[in-house]
Amino acid sequence: MQSYTVQPARSVRGEIRVPGDKSISHRSIMFGSIANGVTKVSGFLRGEDALATLEAFRAMGVQIDDDGETVTIVGKGLHGLEEPTDVLDCGNSGTSMRLLTGLLAGQSFFSVLSGDKYLRARPMKRVVGPLSRMGARIGGRAGGEKAPLAIQGSQLKGIEYDSPVSSAQVKSAIMLAGLYAEGETVVREPHLSRDHSERMLRAFGANVETFPGGVKVRGGAELTGRDIVVPGDISSAAFFMVAASIVPGAELLIKGVGVNPTRTGIIDILKGMGADLELLNERDETGEPVADIRVRHAQLKAMAISGEVVPRAIDEFPAICVAAALAEGTTVVSGAEELRVKETDRITAMADNLRRAGVTVVETPDGMEITGVPALKACAADSFGDHRIAMSMMVAGLVAQGETTISDVDCIATSFPGFRELLEGVVQR
């Protein structure tokens, strides 16, 4: 496991592009594979997570070609996938496993999903439970709570499901099963989670209807392949947005970032903390809003973070924690218990790392309280095998008083290959 040492930065300046959106990349492969005709994807994220999804569909007989610029998917239609001859390896990708569980539940064959040790420890009952109510036959460790998951495809029936958590993975898994179910499937959630599945499925021709608080899917509609442009991932841009906010004299322009309103919680939170951030050149690309984001250094102030903004920023909280560590006052995060079931328990992981850097952090069951400091101490940080923890602590190291070493940074490749090089390219020392 490789470690990485970060030196303090004098400034952060430049113009960059971040890799394609991970959520949209996953879905482009999935939906293109079960559509009729050809789907061409540009801007596809070639990180380990999205590639795990790509390889899973190749293993089910889908022709997928990648020339380095465009990924071309020759779809097999709603019922054209083939039974895989081996276990489908989802690697570290919770999106792959949870969405595939929903999609595979309605097939006419048997399949098994597994992944690395971190993924096999993550909770799966949140999708297995509602899918079982639809008639899915799914077995797994701990009563279906943990992978590997064994799925015997079966005839599904639509249900109405009130999700106790706002989770795009849970919602999307049920929606994908709903494509194969008899009748209508309805999913409601406490707050709106990211809506990439709804947008893209509609573009492919699925019978999907959104309403305040939820989504309806009617089974049986055939999908048609189409061209997709994947915007830059705001979750990846978040690390640079925070870096430019906390490093004195910084100014960054991040081009072509997806600013879907269900994903812009990071922007709302940073602006609420006093960040100097603006959206430029706002536009629409294949159904997704896109903009360039300019960020300059500013003194941040603490704030309370709760409610509907939490699911809109759920993947960005490790980076937000770093911003809070340098903000004046105490930032209080609540309603974010979902962070405890990510690649690692991100509340405990960030609390542990920030304490090492000299920050006072109090954990709560659904969040944390972070009291900002003028400067961070150099420390040995632990990624806990979580890509977002690793990248967040690399950003924190830019404003530490001395060298910060982060363990096990290989995990960054799951979502952001080239992150270190891109970061070092804009750092001035």
Known binding residue 94? Answer is yes
Known binding residue 216? Answer is no
Known binding residue 169? Answer is yes
Known binding residue 122? Answer is yes
Known binding residue 388? Answer is yes
Known binding residue 23? Answer is yes
Known binding residue 67? Answer is no
Known binding residue 245? Answer is no
Catalytic residue among 315, 382, 386, 408: 315
Known binding residue 27? Answer is yes
315 is an active site residue: yes
Known binding residue 342? Answer is yes
What does the H/E/C string look like for the chain? CCCEEECCCCEEEEEEECCECHHHHHHHHHHHHCCEEEEEEECCCCCHHHHHHHHHHHCCCCEEEECCCEEEEEEECCCCCCCCCCCEECCCCHHHHHHHHHHHHCCCCEEEEECCCCHHHCCCHHHHHHHHHCCCEEEEHHHHCEEEEEEECCCEECCEEECCCCCHHHHHHHHHHHHHEECEEEEECCCCCCCHHHHHHHHHCCEEEEECCEEEEECCCCCECCEEECCECHHHHHHHHHHHHHCCCCEEEEEEEECCCCCCHHHHHHHHCCCEEEEEEEEEECCEEEEEEEEECCCCECCEECHHHCHHHHHHHHHHHHHHHCCECEEEECCCHHHHHCCCCHHHHHHHHHHHCCCEEEEECCEEEEECCCCEECCEEECCCCHHHHHHHHHHHCCEECCEEEECHHHHHHCCCCHHHHHHHHEEC
The residues assigned a catalytic role are 315
Binding site per annotation, positions for 3-phosphoshikimate: 22-23, 27, 167, 169, 315, 342
Per the annotation, binding residues are 22-23, 27, 94, 122, 167, 169, 315, 342, 346, 388
Annotated binding residues for phosphoenolpyruvate: 22, 94, 122, 169, 346, 388
